[in-house]
Amino acid sequence: MPTPSRRPEATPPPERGRELLARKWSYLLSGAVVVPLTRDELDREMGEQLDELCRAVHAESSAESASNRSIEQLGQRLVALGYVGEDGLRVTLEVLGKGLLALPEFQPVERYAQRIVSTLGALSAGFLAASRRAVFEQQESMQLSLLKAVRDAQWNLKESEARFEEVATSSASGILVVDLAARIVRANAAIGEILGYTTEELTGFSLLELVHPDSVKILGEAMRALVDGGQERIRQPQRLLRKDGDVARISLTVSLLRGADEQSGHFVAVIEDGTELMLLQSELNRQALHDVATGLPNRQYFTTYLESALRRADPVRGISLFHLDIDAFGMVCNSLGRKTGERLLVHVAQRLRAVMAREKAMIARFDGDEFAILVENTATTPDVGSTVAEINRELSEPVYLDDHGLAVSVSVGVVRRPPSDWEPANVMRAAEQALRRAKSGRRGQWELFHPGQDEAERRAETLAVAMPGAWEHGEIGVRYQPVGELAGGALVGVAARLHWDRGEDSLDHSACVELAERTGLILSLGEWQLATVCGQVGWWSQSARFTAPLYVGLTRHQSCDGDLVRRVRRALDDTGLDASRLTVGMPVGVLAESDAVDNLTVLAELGVGTSLDDFGLGPDDLAMASELPIKSVWVARRLVERQARGEAEYLADLVSLVRRTGAHVLVDGVETAEQAEWWRAAWAVAGTGAFFGPVTPAGEFPITG
């Protein structure tokens, strides 16, 4: 066997690593399968198979299809060892999945991971196909044996009925003895069961009467060919008619029994219930249809399931399909390693299961960091927005993997209530398109393919649509919130807020921003807010020597707005406020996009302060803080709440990490002295929240602190 590795690098020879891996494979396999080889023979065999696999991984880039075929053949070779079955496949994938990635010849692992995965995929595919074939062949051979057993009993109508009984009753396969005129002479209980007749009822029937009309002619001809000696045996899938009118799908084997006088004779037909074979297959299929790492259904299974879900969907509520992609997953893998990445995938799978636990939903893992969820909607299914929010809320709770606290978010493409006659492929494509748009980040973390129409959605849309009018009528106003020093509570800044007074009730800042973001109104509303607050703060400076900074938070849409810099400059120019007095904040998540980064960089160059809002534990958050010209970060409110519940001591570490980048740490949602003290001790600087004073109109703002 030629040495497969021709790479010039001075890596250690691959043989040793391979040998160990092959032995491990062989060792674990031997405890899970039934094969006729001795331990040494199995060691050798697995060594050869592993060499083939490695060769394929090395070769794959050059001649992909050819090597996939050879790997599929390797899957067959594995099956041919004996009774290998699902345990054998599981062991194989477990051992090789880890082992190949660790082999010295496949370093750096990034370069080979994809090929290794696809090689193992081809191996599984070949294995499953061969395994299925093997089971079929075994089943067929049993049928043949049964037939032979009947023949060997030298069946003779008058003398040996008992012998027929012996063989036939112990069989779960149907057995019919049919005379040359196709009339049923004898039937066992099993065929009665399959067709819903008693054995007595069947006696006297013509076999051809029981066969589906479409195939009567063919079967009749084949039986004549048996008599003429032109054919030894008939074997074909058939449809038989049940007593209740249903069709039973069976496989039929017929052969001729010649009588003692060589003249008379009978047919023996063995009927195996086709559904049994299907059942056997399903267990094998389970292996092919699930992702090994997470145990979730894979894309193939999901697509099949989608097809049937579409068909049986509730005509009013329909189904929803979510296509999810973990944000910045590549960064997790690059910085923390692929293993951590894999564990993160498992974690995400678990959380998704938890979120969807109450729904009739299938969660699948697609390739890489993509997941999909299919929900069969019911009266109690939450709307799409809530579901996505719930998913991201769940994922934002940090998980500790190898001492790294990770919180992730997902971008989601959604197709809601696709017409039931859509092809599954179309639905999947639509979801993927929506996901791509969501990832482009123009309108938030998720994107609907099919515009929403349910109640809650409509209400929110109604509000959003009413917003421009409300603004026009002066119902929407600007409010101010004090930013207090954590040590001592002195006023060290003012945060700009929005407020919608709807008479009986009112909407706070975050609700206003979310609605305005939906429609795009935020761009003009935000510009107006900016001009208003800049003017106000300028006036406070003159009138009361108020010198503290003004914090204005932007939305995703605003952050990416190509006109942002112009809008900010105009607000400053028009009001005469010094650029250094203004700090503009962008949601940290939006800075994955170059438009936002450009905006932030230019603003910083103009002397405007910049901050990262909604700062969390996403692995890229810290990277952003150190790479961008940031003056401060606002810790995400959900983290502040966690700390208040005493659940997040590690946040102190976060603060010190941020401080190392030179940015101030600010905290939103401080309600008590204890909270303020905790954050102060963690070296955060200032904060907003009930503890420092309420959101107020300009006239009530305590500019003197």
Q: Least distance to other proteins from the beta carbon of 591, Å?
A: 52
CA–CA dist 621, 589 (Å, integer): 8
- By CB neighbour count within 10 A (0-12 exposed, 13-18 middle, 19+ buried), where does 204 fall? exposed
Using alpha carbons only, how large is the chain's radius of gyration in Å? 36
CA–CA dist 653, 644 (Å, integer): 16
Q: Least distance to other proteins from the beta carbon of 270, Å?
A: 11
Q: Least distance to other proteins from the beta carbon of 377, Å?
A: 36
Q: Which is nearer to other proteins, 87 or 475 (CB)?
A: 87
Q: Least distance to other proteins from the beta carbon of 166, Å?
A: 5
In the block, residue with structure tokens 């008939």? 234
Q: Which is nearer to other proteins, 278 or 456 (CB)?
A: 278
Q: Dump the DSSP string for 95-150.
A: HHHHHHHH-GGG-SHHHHHHHHHHHHHHHHHHHHHHHHHHHHHHHHHHHHHHHHHH
CA–CA dist 550, 129 (Å, integer): 67
Query: How far from 298 is each of 131, 289, 304, 622, CA to CA, in Å?
Result: 20, 6, 10, 33
Q: Least distance to other proteins from the beta carbon of 282, Å?
A: 13
Q: Which is nearer to other proteins, 174 or 441 (CB)?
A: 174
Q: Which is nearer to other proteins, 280 or 293 (CB)?
A: 280
* 3-state secondary structure at position 560: helix
Q: Which is nearer to other proteins, 185 or 464 (CB)?
A: 185
* 3-state secondary structure at position 152: helix
CA–CA dist 243, 426 (Å, integer): 41
Q: Which tokens in the block code for residue 55? A: 């060769």
Q: Least distance to other proteins from the beta carbon of 96, Å?
A: 18
Q: Least distance to other proteins from the beta carbon of 289, Å?
A: 19
Q: Which is nearer to other proteins, 28 or 537 (CB)?
A: 28
Q: Which residues pair with 401 in a beta bridge?
A: 404
Q: Which is nearer to other proteins, 39 or 566 (CB)?
A: 39
* 3-state secondary structure at position 199: helix
Q: Which is nearer to other proteins, 204 or 629 (CB)?
A: 204
CA–CA dist 205, 183 (Å, integer): 6
Q: Are 135 and 244 in contact (CB under 8 A)?
A: no
Q: How many CB atoms lie within 10 A of CB 138?
A: 12
Residue 21 has phi, psi (to 5 degrees) of -65, -45
Q: Are 126 and 84 in contact (CB under 8 A)?
A: no
Q: Least distance to other proteins from the beta carbon of 268, Å?
A: 13
Q: Which is nearer to other proteins, 188 or 643 (CB)?
A: 188
Q: Least distance to other proteins from the beta carbon of 690, Å?
A: 58
Instruction: Give, for 506, the enclosing helix (H) or strand (E).
Output: strand 505-507
Q: Least distance to other proteins from the beta carbon of 167, Å?
A: 5
Q: Which is nearer to other proteins, 136 or 683 (CB)?
A: 136
What is the strand order of the sheet 184-187 is part of? 184-187, 174-179, 265-273, 247-258, 233-241
Look at residues 25, 14, 44 and name the one whose alpha carbon lies nearest to residue 93.
25
Q: Least distance to other proteins from the beta carbon of 626, Å?
A: 50
Q: Which is nearer to other proteins, 26 or 643 (CB)?
A: 26
Contact positions toward other proteins, by CB under 8 A?
27-28, 30-31, 33-36, 38-39, 42, 82-85, 87, 134-139, 141-142, 144-146, 148-149, 152-153, 162-163, 165-167, 169-173, 188-190, 192-193, 199, 273, 276, 279-280
- By CB neighbour count within 10 A (0-12 exposed, 13-18 middle, 19+ buried), where does 3 fall? exposed
Q: How many CB atoms lie within 10 A of CB 62?
A: 8
Q: Least distance to other proteins from the beta carbon of 200, Å?
A: 11
Q: Which is nearer to other proteins, 273 or 517 (CB)?
A: 273
Q: Which is nearer to other proteins, 134 or 612 (CB)?
A: 134
Look at residues 386, 510, 516, 359 and name the one whose alpha carbon lies nearest to residue 456.
386
Q: Least distance to other proteins from the beta carbon of 33, Å?
A: 7
